[in-house]
Amino acid sequence: MNSTEIRVLVIDDEKDIRSLIVKYLIKENMTVYEASCSREAIRYYTNHELDIIILDIMLPDMSGLELLKKIRSECNETPVILISAKKEDSDKVLGLGLGADDYVTKPFSPAELVARVKAQIRRNSIITNQQKLTEILVCGDFKLDYTNYTFYKSKEVINLSPTELKIMAFFMRNPHQVFTKVQIFSNVWLENDYGYQVADDNSIMVHISHIREKIELNPKQPIHIQTVWGIGYQFIP
């Protein structure tokens, strides 16, 4: 996808921060929509086809986390980058668990944020192309149907976030193989334009933990996504 085709919705009630983000995105020839509250944001994403959403957690009418939950409940799979002044791990864990694809804390570098936007767009484009080649993945008791973004375990529907779906797609294409966190990063998150990873150790552990809670009989003693100590993770279907 060319940058001229990228459509971004920036949701932040702080005009100065919003304007700064918009300025850097426009420099990259992206089409940018602005919203200062959840009500405006809902109108924009309902009436416009978007490639990515940048969402502040603190909004005046509805929290960004509540808005994210609403977006995902409507089966809207648009990538979402959360931004927040809160640095607590609990907020990051909650945001990723609700379906956010990335999390940035204030203050942040506008250039890095733009790089993260590009990384998400590139990753989504690659996943979309993969979906066109393989619409249904089956591995053991697990099935991932790309036609309706539905994940099954033994014919039971399991609700996974967009990022969790991408992690499971990667695992299902490579069962029994042991992958380091760096390898998972490079295949699921990809690298940003500055050559360093846009996800950290904590992010991948949070997502793996959420997936285990959904697919394992006992998440504390996982059978399907096993930790290989000192190396990374292995998927056993």
pLDDT surpassing 90 at residue 212: yes
Q: Does the domain made of 3-125 have the CATH classification 3.40.50.300?
A: no
Cα-Cα-Cα-Cα dihedral sign, residues 83, 92, 181, 172: negative
Burial 102-134 (b: 16+ CB within 10 A, else e): bbbeeeeebebbbbbbbbbbebbeebeebbeee
pLDDT of residue 142: 93
For residue 4, is pLDDT > 90?
A: no
Q: How much is the pLDDT for 234?
A: 93
Q: Please tell me whether residue 93 adopts helix, strand or coil conformation.
A: helix
- What's the confidence (pLDDT) of residue 193? 37
Give the predicted TM-score (pTM) of the model: 0.60
Query: Could you tell me where the DSSP H helices lie in the chain?
Result: 15-27, 38-47, 64-73, 89-97, 110-133, 162-173, 181-184, 201-215
pLDDT digits (tens, 9 = 90+) for 89-142: 777 888 888 888 888 988 889 999 999 998 888 877 766 666 555 578 888 889
Buried-state track 45-56, b at ≥16 Cβ within 10 A, e below 16: beeeebbbbbbb
More confident residue, 126 or 68: 68
- Ordered by start, the domain boundaries in the chain are 3-125, 135-235
Q: 143 has which bridge partners?
A: 138, 152
Q: How confident is the model at residue 191 (pLDDT cuts 50, 70, 90)?
A: very low
User: What per-residue confidence (pLDDT) applies to 128?
Assistant: 64
CA proximity to 99, closest of 74, 119, 121, 125? 74
pLDDT digits (tens, 9 = 90+) for 6-40: 899 999 999 999 999 999 999 999 999 999 999 99
Q: How confident is the prediction for the chain on average, in pLDDT? A: 85
The pLDDT of residue 6: 87
Where does 135-235 sit in CATH, by number?
1.10.10.10
Residue 48 pLDDT class (50, 70, 90 cuts): confident
Q: Is the pLDDT of residue 190 over 70?
A: no
